[in-house]
Amino acid sequence: MKLLYFLADKIDVTFDGADEVDEHLHLIKGGGGCLLQEKIVASCTKDFIAIVDERQVYLLNNIYALT
């Protein structure tokens, strides 16, 4: 998963969205189908910031089942 290391030593910050989030800031990503690409970028980043709006809060386990 360290595929991007040949492009950059380290990515300082990654901003991305999340599909579901709860009041404890647990979140689910990758529901849109780009999970592999997102994991590759996240493995090379120092800080990850997830951006969500109020429609996604309290949805955890409602759209994508947690098993």
Number of domains in the chain: 1
Residue 66 counted as domain residue: no
Residue 31 counted as domain residue: yes
Statement: the pTM of the whole predicted model exceeds 0.85: no
Known catalytic residue: 23? no
Q: What range does the domain containing 24 cover?
A: 3-56
Helices (H), 1-67: 35-43
28 DSSP 8-state letter: E
From 25, 18, 21, 16, select the one nearest 60 (Cα to Cα): 21
Residue 48, domain CATH: 3.40.50.1360
Among 20, 23, 38, 54, the active-site one is 38
Residue 63 counted as domain residue: no
pLDDT for res 60:
60
Residue 64 counted as domain residue: no
From 67, 7, 10, 6, select the one nearest 43 (Cα to Cα): 10
Q: What is the pLDDT of residues 2-29, one digit of tens each?
A: 555 555 667 889 898 887 787 788 887 7
Residue 41 counted as domain residue: yes
